[in-house]
Structures are given as C-alpha cells and as structure tokens.
Amino acid sequence: MKAHVVTYGCQMNEYDTHLVQSQLVSLGADMVEDIDSADFVLLNTCAVRGKPVDKVRSVLGELRKEKAKRPLVVGMMGCLAQLEEGQQIARKFEVDVLIGPGSLLDIGKALESNERFWALNFRDELHGHIPPAPQGKLQAHLTIMRGCDHHCTYCIVPTTRGPQVSRSPDDILRELDMQLAAGVREVTLLGQNVNAYGVDQGARLAGYPSFADLLRMVGASGIERIKFTTSHPMNFTEDVAQAMAETPAVCEFIHLPVQSGSDRVLRRMAREYNREKYLTHIEQIRRHMPDAVLYTDIIVGFPGETEEDFQQTLDLYDEVGYDSAYMFIYSARPGTPSYKHFTDLPREVKTERLQRLIAKQKDWSARRFAAKVGTVQEVLVRGDAYSPGFLEGHTRGQHPTVVPKAVGAEGAGIYQVRINHATPHMLYGQVVDAQGRPLEELPQWTPEAAALSSPLQML
C-alpha cells in the first residue's frame, strides 16, 4: 500500500500524523509525497474553526471523484472525526476509515477491515505509546499530555480529545532519549494546557512532577533547545518562569493566549482568569526573563463583544507589547456552549476589528523585530529557503530568520547569526563565528535586497 497523510491544524496534529505514519510504515505501507500516487489517503483534521472544516469538505469532494476512477481508500482522523459534524461529513463523502484522536493505534485494524471502519474511543494505551523518533530532523514535537479539563465556551477540544491525561515522565524521557539519538536538537513539548501537567481532573498524580520540574528534567537530558505550547493562564505559576530562567536549554519564548483584554468577555468565554491576573503572569515572566519573547492568541468578535470590550483588547496589546499574535475572527463551532447560547456578531463587524488588531500587531512586531538588528542570535537553520542561495530557520525566540549560505553554513544546523535587517515578520542576517566575524564576506541585507526576495516573506 502507498499512503499519504494530509495534516491540518495544530502541532498536536503534526505529532499525531507522525505517530500514524510510523504505524503505517510498520505495517508495510510506503509513504508517498502526493495524493495522486497513493492507494490510501488520510486527512488529519481540525475542528477548532470553520475554515479548516470547509477545506476538508472540499478535499473529500475531490477524493470522492477520484474514487470513481481508481481503487482508493479514504480516511479521516483528528478532531473533526470525533464530532457528529465530522461523522455526517464522512457519510456524505463516503469516507472508508474514521479514527478519532484517541484511537490512533487502531489504524492497523482499519486497514485490515474489508468494510467501513470507525474507531472513536479514547484508548488508554495511546498515552503510553512511544513513536519512533523523526529521522533527519533537528526539530521534534513531544506530547506530554492529551485532552483538556477546562471548558471554555468557544472550544471544542474537550469534546474531541477528552479529559486531560498526562503522560508518565518516564515515557516522556524515553521518547526524548530516542529523539536525541536520532539527532534532534530542539524539542517542543505539546499539550492542550502544559501548565496543568500532572494534575488530571483536578487531582495531583502520585510520582508526577510539576510542569516546572518537568522542564528541569528535560533540560538535564542534553537537549540543546526546549520550547512548549500551549499555556493556559489559569494554570500558569511563577515557578514555570523560574524554571525557564534557570534551565539554559529552555528558550526565552512563551506562548500565553489571552483571547481578550476585557474581563466581561473573558467571563463569557469561561477563561477562569481576568485581565489583572493575566498581567501578573506577564510581570512574573519578565521579572525572571527580561528578554522573554511573548506570543499570544486573540479571538476577535466573540459574541457580545462591544466596541469598548475590543478597545480593552487593543489597550492590553499595547500594555504587553507582544512580539506576535495568532489572531482569529470568532468562529461558532457546533457543540460548544457559545454556539448554543450566544448570538454571533455580524461578520463585517468582526472583520473590521480584526483589521485594526492586525495593524496593532504589525506595529509591535516591527518594533520587536527591529530591536534585534545588530544583535547576534542563535538560529536553528532547517534548510534551504525559497530563494536559491539562502537558508531559513528561527531564533530561540521563534523569530523566522533568513541567512545566505556561507562557508561552514551550507545546510541545517544551529548557528550564530548577526541580524542585519528586519521586517515585521522576518529577520535577515549573516552567519558569524564565535568572535562575531562573518564566515564569508557577503552583501549585507538591505530593504532593497529584502524586496528582491519577496517570496521569503511567506515563510
């Protein structure tokens, strides 16, 4: 069998794709790069917003046409597969295999079946499963927990991924050891709410460290760079900031979703914290890490959001000064309390507010990125950029960075880079040695040079 997996959504889905691909390979399947070459096409779906659901509908429509022309098995996995909405879509488009986020180890049974196969249970053995390390990559994801015990009114995750289940620290460290042996140099710890690690359904698990102590344990493994996502402010504690500051491998980067700057909207979202509490966390982070890079999530146009509420979000953005943000128009998702009980705002109102927030974010990103010009940053280079002769990667603070190839910097690796130019979304630099000297004399980045390489802005 030749198999191809299409992935939508978050880093957790990317991790799950790797897990399922490793299962497929162990069963004798060949992973291919495109749909046209595949006998089995599996869509790893997202249900957090409406747009990725619409995309899945479109792709499934094309695959149904393709099934009429040749033998083809079509499958869905991920969050959408767990929902009644996804199951209705699966029936409509004649999907053969449907696997929820808790049933990924059933992929073998699915392929052995000669009829439609659906598996939508939450399987305990999944949490102890250790997939093989990715090969030939400097970066890897490592799931430390699954599910979520919070019930934000807009969020479908507790329904799709179930209650929180923390993986044992032994399993986490064993998987990390395998990744290190495979050459991984940067690991991102994943969970719906990593700050709550070790406290499942409100109870502290015997023998499990806190998330802060887990960071210290991972940092002692020999890994060079550690990041994590995502953090819920309700469970964030100052000892996490302390552990980040005290553990050299932990990068000075934190993604702390705020969603709104209005206490009234936060209550309607059931976020369980207020603006003052959130800003206390920001103060704690900056006290321990003055140079911390802060990213956030913001939902624009939540039901009932007034112009005053939105202005409070803009004001909070100025108060924090984020390096970047993931900004979304509120998308009503069937099965969530906000979908059932709240009335959506007109789309034109949401769109106009989003444009104002984007302008705010671009202004702050321009300031934060410009501040890096003249500094030397540690950059993990993944490989070739869009433009020939250049490499792309990211700093410890997650700033996308482009460098020209130079003697001693021909491909993937971790390099010291002097930043010569910045845009609101990209840093441009030159690889230097330990004394800050260029490895090879090359033209400095200028706005004109950046404009000539405009495809790089897409990274």
Annotated binding site for [4Fe-4S] cluster: 10, 46, 79, 148, 152, 155
Task: Show binding-site residues.
Answer: 10, 46, 79, 148, 152, 155
Residue with tokens 């982070």, as numbered in its chain: 285
Going by their DSSP bridges, the two strands 426-432 and 400-404 should be labelled as parallel
Neighbours of 136 (CB within 10 A): 7
The sign of the CA dihedral 20, 21, 22, 27 is positive
Q: Pick the closest to residue 324 from 427, 181, 240, 438 (CA basis).
A: 427
The SS3 of residue 145 is strand
Q: Give the whole-angstrom CA distance, residue 430 versus residue 376.
A: 9
| DSSP code string of 154-195 | T--HHHHH-S-EEPPHHHHHHHHHHHHHTT--EEEEE-TTGG
Q: Give the whole-angstrom CA distance, residue 46 versus residue 93.
A: 17
Neighbours of 115 (CB within 10 A): 5
DSSP strand E in 178-292: where?
Answer: 186-190, 199-200, 203-204, 225-229, 253-255
Q: Pick the closest to residue 347 from 51, 9, 48, 8 (CA basis).
A: 51
**Cα–Cα–Cα angle for 5, 187, 420, rounded to 5 degrees:** 100
Q: Pick the closest to residue 373 from 408, 406, 411, 399 (CA basis).
A: 399
DSSP strand E in 400-457: where?
Answer: 400-404, 413-423, 426-432
Amino acid making up residue 422: A
Q: Pick the closest to residue 143 from 81, 187, 182, 105 (CA basis).
A: 187
The sign of the CA dihedral 323, 384, 20, 334 is positive
Find how far residue 361's CA is from the centre of its chain: 19
